[in-house]
């Protein structure tokens, strides 16, 4: 069929070649074509943050990113994450249903790398693109602050 593009993605250090239509989002490419379903779809409009992944180290909303735009990029999804935040999220009970959690963790890693947040309030502000309907906000920021400050919570 016409309109298929061939792209290369390095996802969690694994090379993939995909033939997809240009209108396939990076989120759908990860979930439906590469079977990496850890990245979640919560709105498909860039409004909830559940689909956050790291592209070349930066946090990106994969639902409003077309896969073809990331040809050649290095992508890390929750399946490729090995980070202290995973333990602090468990320890602080920073999730209930767990659906927003992959996005929260990827977003937090990206946020810490950006280096713009210097206080609890700034962390909360810069994490506010990731919604949590279970209401675990306080625990999520607690978990991030513990990693950010290497143990202390403020």
Q: Which residues of the shown chain bind another protein in the complex (CB under 8 A)?
A: 1, 21, 23-24, 28, 31-32, 35-45, 47-48, 50, 77-79, 81, 85-87, 89-91, 93, 95-102, 105, 121, 124-125, 127-141
| Nearest residue to 141 (alpha-carbon basis) of 111, 126, 114, 120 | 120
CB of 55 to another protein, least distance (A): 17
| 66 versus 73: smaller Cβ distance to another protein | 66
Contact (Cβ atoms closer than 8 angstroms) between residue 143 and residue 85: yes
| 69 versus 90: smaller Cβ distance to another protein | 90
Contact (Cβ atoms closer than 8 angstroms) between residue 144 and residue 101: no
The H-assigned helical ranges of 6-77 are 26-28
CB of 44 to another protein, least distance (A): 6
| 52 versus 73: smaller Cβ distance to another protein | 52
Report in angstroms the alpha-carbon separations of 133 from 32, 55, 130: 25, 26, 10
CB of 58 to another protein, least distance (A): 19
CB atoms within 10 A of CB 18: 17
CB of 30 to another protein, least distance (A): 10
| 73 versus 140: smaller Cβ distance to another protein | 140
């Amino acid at each position: 069929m016409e309109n298929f593009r061939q792209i290369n993605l390095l996802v969690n250090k694994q090379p993939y070649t995909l033939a997809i239509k240009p209108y396939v989002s990076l989120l759908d490419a990860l979930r439906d074509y590469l079977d990496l379903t850890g990245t979640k779809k919560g709105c498909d409009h860039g409004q909830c943050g559940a689909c956050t992944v790291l592209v070349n180290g930066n946090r990106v909303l994969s639902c409003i990113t077309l896969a073809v735009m990331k040809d050649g990029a290095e992508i890390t999804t929750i399946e490729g994450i090995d980070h202290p935040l995973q333990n602090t999220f468990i320890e602080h009970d920073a999730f209930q249903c767990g659906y927003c959690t992959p996005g929260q963790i990827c977003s937090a890693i990206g946020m810490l790398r950006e280096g713009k947040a210097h206080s609890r309030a700034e962390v909360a502000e810069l994490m506010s693109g990731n919604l949590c309907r279970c209401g675990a906000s306080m625990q999520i920021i607690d978990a991030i602050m513990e990693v950010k400050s290497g143990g202390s919570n403020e």
